[in-house]
Structure 1
Amino acid sequence: MTDPARPVLRMRGVAKTFGLTRVLQDVDLTVRRGEVHGLLGQNGSGKSTLIKILAGFHTPDEGSIELDGASVDLPLSAVDRRKHRLRFVHQDLALLPSLTVLENLLADDVATGPGIRPRRRRAELARATAQFDRFGISLRPDTLVRDISRLDRAKLAIARAVSHLGDDDGDADGAGRGLLVLDEPTAFLPHSEVAELIALMRAVAAQGTGVLFVSHDLDEVLTVTDRVSVLRDGQLVGSEDTASLAREDLVRLIVGRPVSVLSAGSAPVSASQERPRLQVSALRGGAVQHLDLSVHPGEVVGVTGVIGSGFDEVTQLLFGALRASGGSVAIDDLELEARRLSPATAIKAGVAYLPSDRAVQGSAPSLTVGENVALLSLRKGGGPFALTGRRLERHAGKLLRDLDVRPPEPALAYASLSGGNQQKAMMAKWLVTGPKVLLLSEPTQGVDVGAREQIFTLIAEAARQGCAVVCSSSDLDQLAQICNRVLLMRRGVVSDEVHGEAVTKAGLTEMLFADAVVRSPRATSDA
């Protein structure tokens, strides 16, 4: 029988230096059995390095690690991780889309098993079904992973990790054993789906497993964790019971100071005196049935709704990333038929677009930071030889410094940047073009609280420069902080509109999820 008081993980005096930079310094971290423990900190605080030490990717310069009460040699090997029931689920989930749910669930068995062995499909299906039932997961084992939702993929990745936490000691279901490290598994999930993953985390911890949860979303952390540890500049600045922390206390621990909050309607708008910069009429496409929208210079307009309402497709349609079936889009004096709108046409008209999935849709991860930032400048400058060598490096370096991208090194691989710095680099890429219209989709998804504040400031500055901003987001707190007004969508049409001081998280939540009768949509029957 296991001792519930004994920590499943204890790190003592862990330190790590890269070159002249001290990334971690004298870090102590303890995770108890059956608890969800949050690991927080700004991008660059040392979280990723600490996780990579646990994964055996880095060797600490100093310090020791105990797993389940036993000291382990460093760096941790794959055999040690399996022996001590240490499992990871990273942001990319590491699933194979071309394989089935069952094949992904058993992938580690194939990779670490004793050579070729016969498949026992009936036993495998029974094991998968039992594993899914145990945690309330509804997945068909024979479904291809590419055909399931991102939420179900995250659940599958967690189920696969947990399935091995009890191996090698007869504890076949993993109850009461091991440590599950979740490295931002919710980063690219809509807020409406995160609750299901939080319930799964709690179910895993209830079995006695320790869960180390890395996240930038403070509401998630305050909801699911029992304790939190905060890193700042490579040092542990506090480990606290979550129940004793207010959100403001957590922000102060992470950033080291109170974070200023932008108020709704903070951008200067003179709607009555200026013509709209963006005029959308009868836009249709995807789940959007009808959208009329006017955005003036300096105005930040949010669009939100429940999943399936079409709110998340508005910015895609306006950029031409999703083909519209009807309507028109006017930018200043230029009127465009929505069906003919393409990204190339939109860019030429002065439209900038930050998609929610920056890794797949918003950047070229195989290129350097400088090359990513300068892509649109190259296009605007007239060809592939407009910015080369030192000129590109100077140009990109200035943009990175202006937007506080850390480190401001154009030669670094873009994929090596943290999520918040990747997003700031993408903002730099677009803002240097001086856009007339800025389209944002979940702009602070997977971004820490410090970078989130900086991105809000960049959005406000773009508005002050006369940009018309449209932000589609499921993060109601974000919308309340940056928007002059917010449109709420239901079933493909705008059902409500909230203005100015009425734009609050509480107000938006009430209107979005109220059980009251839905108000009449704006779309007319003959639109």
Structure 2
Amino acid sequence: MATPGPSVLELVGLTKTFGGTTVLDAVDLSVAPGEVHGLLGENGSGKSTLIKVLAGFHDPDGGRLRVGGRDVALPLQPDAPRTLGLQFVHQDLGLIESLSVVENLVVADMAQRRLRISWAQERRKARQVFERYGIDLDPAATVADVRPVQRAQLAIARAMEGMREARGHGDGGAHGLLVLDEPTVFLPREEVDQLFGLMRDIAASGASVLFVSHDIDEVLRVTDRATVLRDGRLVDTLVTAETDHDALIERIIGRRLEAHAPPAAGTTVNAAPVMARVRGLTSDPLVDVDLDVHEGEVLGVTGLLGSGFEALPYVLHSAVAPTSGRLELDGTEHDLTSRRGPCASTALVPADRKNDSAVQTLPVTDNVTMPVLGRFRGALGLDRRAMTTATAALMEEYDVRPRDPSLPLSALSGGNQQKAVIAKWLQTGPRLLLLHEPTQGVDVGARGQIWDVIRGSADAGGAVVCASSDHEQLAALCDRVVVLARGRVVAELTGGDVTKERITERCLSSVQLAAAEDAA
């Protein structure tokens, strides 16, 4: 509950541009002492940029900042947020899983220590910290072995201790601000309440929390007020006890949520034959997922972060083995619990291009020919000339620039790297192409080219599953879109409903739809 006094944080007229694009346009934000304040908006609304300005990662083009009633010069220097009592817990939590709980708790201070560390003493201090915040956590445990909610609690406790140090330990972090960026995304549903209890305890101690989330129901449950951004502009700040789910959706997407009935049972969504039939797919966080993908179809899969949609391509390719489930592809059934799975008939393009899709230091030739090296095997080993010729032809076909197969992949732009990766897999002739965020980090010109390549793969008689949080991309590319929540398919969009606005509506309502199914 907010308490009287100057705002813990006040932003006035915050503006930020990248190139010719305005991503924050004169945004105002005020967080009161002892308040849990929500920050909502679609992808691209400006939430992440605002947080990065506060963390000192981005320099704003304009605006004023006050912390605890004092003017603070922008841009913030690297050490300024910590000194000001601003602490950040990002979605990945920033923990080192191979280290112990206590090592993670003190890792930020270890470089400044001149004396030998007494780990027995540090474990005693850690127990005092956890007792202060009501956390049941063993300081000696390895982070990899503790529950997801305990990892989140550890990250928050570490941030709060940093806040206390900035305030001289005087009042337990009063007037400091803890910024939580999607902290519940990867938490089991039953553990979210524990985290919310910790957030409320922090606010009761006098500190404030800025809770960034896509989950409207969570924002309504835990916050005192919520600010909504859309297209880089402030839409509204509301008292959450005086608003509801539909009102927040209306502000997020810019229009009232319309009632939408799913297709009637037995409705044929696509007249083409089913190429891929998925049944009973379960793999944390997916739960008993059934899907049909038709020949020539691009099927979009989406949902809020943590809903499970992002796991689907990897499980269908057997890159991650599920606990149960089967895939029938072109009439042949594959047991997905076996790592052998259907890999020969599928191709997977992961979201992490640099680490999972290619070897940045190798030439384009080596990257592109990797799945088909058998074609170039001769009596004296690999035919490098033939490999280079084949790669040059693919670079021409997919417009990969510059047209130099000898360049290391890292020398290409993000968009050209992604075109090379997609070309690498399409040359294998997959029946089912599996994509995760295929245009992430790609410029607008390459984006359209990649869409054309994906569409062309389906038009040539294949099928495509595209998992993405980019609703504009899904609307431009897909014949049909399914929405997941809590690991299950809860909505399907077809025909004229496959628009950016309708996809966003279904995602924002997905948690309610899943809850209704649970109650049924």
Report if TM-score (shorter chain) is over 0.5.
Answer: yes
Q: CA RMSD in A?
A: 5.2
Aligned to 1:479: 490
How far the C-alpha of 1:32 sits from its partner, in A, is 0.7
C-alpha distance in 2 between matches for 1:134 and 1:365: 46
Aligned to 1:238: 236
Say yes or no: does 1:249 pair with 2:256.
no
Query: Matched residue of 2:165: which SS?
Result: coil
C-alpha distance in 1 between matches for 2:317 and 2:519: 29
C-alpha distance in 1 between matches for 2:358 and 2:211: 25
How far the C-alpha of 1:275 sits from its partner, in A, is 7.9
CA contact (8 A) 2:281 2:322 kept: yes
Aligned identity (percent) is: 34
| CA deviation vs aligned residue, 1:297-337 (integer Å, no higher than 9, x gap) | 599999xxxx9xx9999976543234479986432322345
Aligned to 1:107: 107
CA contact (8 A) 1:53 1:60 kept: yes
CA contact (8 A) 1:164 1:174 kept: no
How far the C-alpha of 1:197 sits from its partner, in A, is 2.5
Pick from 205, 222, 225 the counterpart of residue 224 of structure 1: 222
Query: Matched residue of 2:178: which SS?
Result: strand
Mapping of 1:417-496 within 5 angstroms? 422=440, 433-434=457-458, 447=469, 451-452=470-471, 454=472, 461-462=479-480, 473-474=485-486, 479-480=490-491
Would the alpha carbon gap of residues 386 and 90 (structure 1) be closer, same or farther in structure 2, given more than 3 Å must change?
A: farther
CA contact (8 A) 1:87 1:162 kept: yes
Q: Could you tell me which amino acid in structure 2 is paired with residue 479 of structure 1?
A: V
TM-score (norm 2): 0.68
> RCO higher in 1 or 2 (8 Å CA, sep ≥ 6)?
1
Aligned to 1:208: 206
Query: Matched residue of 1:164: which SS?
Result: helix
How far the C-alpha of 1:178 sits from its partner, in A, is 0.4
Query: Matched residue of 1:140: which SS?
Result: coil
Aligned to 1:399: none
Say yes or no: does 1:509 pair with 2:515.
yes
CA contact (8 A) 1:352 1:430 kept: no
How far the C-alpha of 1:119 sits from its partner, in A, is 1.9
Would the alpha carbon gap of residues 261 and 9 (structure 1) be closer, same or farther in structure 2, given more than 3 Å must change?
A: same
Aligned to 1:331: 329
Say yes or no: does 1:39 pair with 2:39.
yes
Query: Matched residue of 1:130: which SS?
Result: helix
Query: Matched residue of 2:58: which SS?
Result: coil
Would the alpha carbon gap of residues 192 and 278 (structure 1) be closer, same or farther in structure 2, given more than 3 Å must change?
A: farther
CA contact (8 A) 1:191 1:475 kept: no
Aligned length: 446
Q: Could you tell me which amino acid in structure 2 is paired with residue 422 of structure 1?
A: Q
Mapping of 1:87-166 within 5 angstroms? 87-111=87-111, 113=112, 115-166=113-164
Mapping of 1:59-458 within 5 angstroms? 59-111=59-111, 113=112, 115-171=113-169, 174-258=172-256, 263-265=261-263, 269-270=267-268, 277-278=275-276, 295=292, 297=294, 318-323=316-321, 329-336=327-334, 342=340, 345-346=342-343, 348-349=344-345, 358-359=351-352, 364=357, 384-388=391-395, 391-392=398-399, 410=415, 422=440, 433-434=457-458, 447=469, 451-452=470-471, 454=472
How far the C-alpha of 1:364 sits from its partner, in A, is 4.5
CA contact (8 A) 1:261 1:481 kept: no
CA contact (8 A) 1:38 1:221 kept: yes
CA contact (8 A) 1:43 1:421 kept: no
CA contact (8 A) 2:281 2:289 kept: no
Q: Could you tell me which amino acid in structure 2 is paired with residue 182 of structure 1?
A: L
Would the alpha carbon gap of residues 203 and 276 (structure 1) be closer, same or farther in structure 2, given more than 3 Å must change?
A: same
| CA deviation vs aligned residue, 1:62-113 (integer Å, no higher than 9, x gap) | 22211111112222224422221111111222212221111111112224x3
Query: Matched residue of 2:162: which SS?
Result: coil
C-alpha distance in 2 between matches for 1:196 and 1:311: 25
Q: Which runs of 5+ in 1 are unaligned?
A: 395-407, 464-468, 484-502, 515-527
CA contact (8 A) 1:228 1:242 kept: yes
How far the C-alpha of 1:505 sits from its partner, in A, is 6.8
CA contact (8 A) 1:327 1:337 kept: yes
Query: Matched residue of 1:213: which SS?
Result: strand
| CA deviation vs aligned residue, 1:445-491 (integer Å, no higher than 9, x gap) | xx5xxx45x5775797247xxxxx7x764166x614559xxxxxxxx
C-alpha distance in 2 between matches for 1:420 and 1:269: 30
C-alpha distance in 2 between matches for 1:59 and 1:216: 25
Query: Matched residue of 1:342: which SS?
Result: coil
| CA deviation vs aligned residue, 1:231-261 (integer Å, no higher than 9, x gap) | 2222212222122222222222222233556
Say yes or no: does 1:19 pair with 2:19.
yes
| CA deviation vs aligned residue, 1:176-213 (integer Å, no higher than 9, x gap) | 23011112223344444433333322222222111112
Would the alpha carbon gap of residues 279 and 9 (structure 1) be closer, same or farther in structure 2, given more than 3 Å must change?
A: closer
Q: Could you tell me which amino acid in structure 2 is paired with residue 105 of structure 1?
A: L
C-alpha distance in 2 between matches for 1:262 and 1:153: 38
C-alpha distance in 2 between matches for 1:223 and 1:88: 21
How far the C-alpha of 1:54 sits from its partner, in A, is 0.9
Q: Could you tell me which amino acid in structure 2 is paired with residue 167 of structure 1?
A: E
Would the alpha carbon gap of residues 385 and 142 (structure 1) be closer, same or farther in structure 2, given more than 3 Å must change?
A: farther
Query: Matched residue of 1:166: which SS?
Result: helix
C-alpha distance in 1 between matches for 2:399 and 2:259: 35
How far the C-alpha of 1:170 sits from its partner, in A, is 4.1
CA contact (8 A) 1:89 1:183 kept: yes
Q: Could you tell me which amino acid in structure 1 is paired with residue 214 of structure 2?
A: H
C-alpha distance in 2 between matches for 1:390 and 1:301: 25
C-alpha distance in 1 between matches for 2:117 and 2:207: 29
Would the alpha carbon gap of residues 505 and 24 (structure 1) be closer, same or farther in structure 2, given more than 3 Å must change?
A: closer
C-alpha distance in 2 between matches for 1:79 and 1:69: 19
How far the C-alpha of 1:270 sits from its partner, in A, is 4.2
C-alpha distance in 1 between matches for 2:311 and 2:328: 18
CA contact (8 A) 1:95 1:104 kept: yes
| CA deviation vs aligned residue, 1:109-159 (integer Å, no higher than 9, x gap) | 224x3x412323343223222222333322221122223343332221111
C-alpha distance in 2 between matches for 1:4 and 1:233: 32
How far the C-alpha of 1:10 sits from its partner, in A, is 0.9
Would the alpha carbon gap of residues 341 and 258 (structure 1) be closer, same or farther in structure 2, given more than 3 Å must change?
A: same
How far the C-alpha of 1:34 sits from its partner, in A, is 1.0
| CA deviation vs aligned residue, 1:472-513 (integer Å, no higher than 9, x gap) | 64166x614559xxxxxxxxxxxxxxxxxxx99778536646
CA contact (8 A) 2:455 2:477 kept: no
Would the alpha carbon gap of residues 338 and 508 (structure 1) be closer, same or farther in structure 2, given more than 3 Å must change?
A: closer
CA contact (8 A) 1:354 1:439 kept: no
CA contact (8 A) 1:40 1:228 kept: yes
